[in-house]
Amino acid sequence: MPTKAQKRERRRWYERQRAGGGVVFRGEMVSPEEFAELLRPRLVRDCGSYRIWKYDVQAPLTLFGHTFDGLQDLLGYINISGQMHFGELSVCLKQPVRTAPGIYCAEIYECYPVFDAFDVGDSRVYRNVFFSRTPFTPAVLTELSRLANGLNLCAVHDNLPADALPVLYHDGDSADMLLADM
């Protein structure tokens, strides 16, 4: 547990950083340069015909010439959604909160498992978001749902077909998301 002197020094450090243009990021004060570095995507794997990148959930993401302002903004563009439940996909059309000309977004998600009463109100999901220049249909979404293999419904892996790209994955808990893109 920090002492009063340590807390006082920490408070002074925050004030100095704020005066110098500091930014609070995940509960810590960082400089604008550090903040920009933290939001920069990092290459995870080069799979030959495409690459897998790791982004922070708050980082801007540009696809098809449109910039999404982090994961929460991106979720407002989804116009078709599929929920996996015991291996079955339930599809529902959604009215997107925001639209971008010529960009269509679809999600396939699975709720976190429920083990006891404490898990009942848990709203976290494992989520894959697919992007396209043409509208998604329930049949296409069913086909895409077969790409999610392995643990936690992750569809970002080494064996993605080119027509499924780009695809983004977020596991609901992490401050990072994975993007497979050309």
What is the structure's pLDDT at 30?
64
Q: Which helix (H) or strand (E) holds 10?
A: helix 4-19
* 122-177 pLDDT tens trace: 677 889 999 999 999 999 989 888 887 666 788 888 777 888 889 999 988 888 89
What is the structure's pLDDT at 149?
66
What is the structure's pLDDT at 125?
85
What is the structure's pLDDT at 22?
65
What is the structure's pLDDT at 137?
92
| Beta carbons of 45 and 51 less than 8 angstroms apart | yes
Q: What is the mean pLDDT of the chain?
A: 82
What is the structure's pLDDT at 67?
92
Integer Cα distance of 164 and 158 in angstroms: 12
* 100-110 pLDDT tens trace: 999 999 999 88
pTM for this entry:
0.77
b/e sequence 97-132, b meaning 16+ C-beta within 10 Å: eeebeebbbbbbbbbeeeeeeeeeeeeebbbbbbbb
* 136-151 pLDDT tens trace: 999 998 988 888 766 6
Average pLDDT over residues 26-43: 70
In this prediction, what percent of the chain has a pLDDT beyond 70? Answer: 80
- At 25, the pLDDT band (50, 70, 90 cuts) reads low
What is the structure's pLDDT at 19?
62
Q: Taking 80 as the threshold, does the pLDDT of residue 73 lie above it?
A: yes
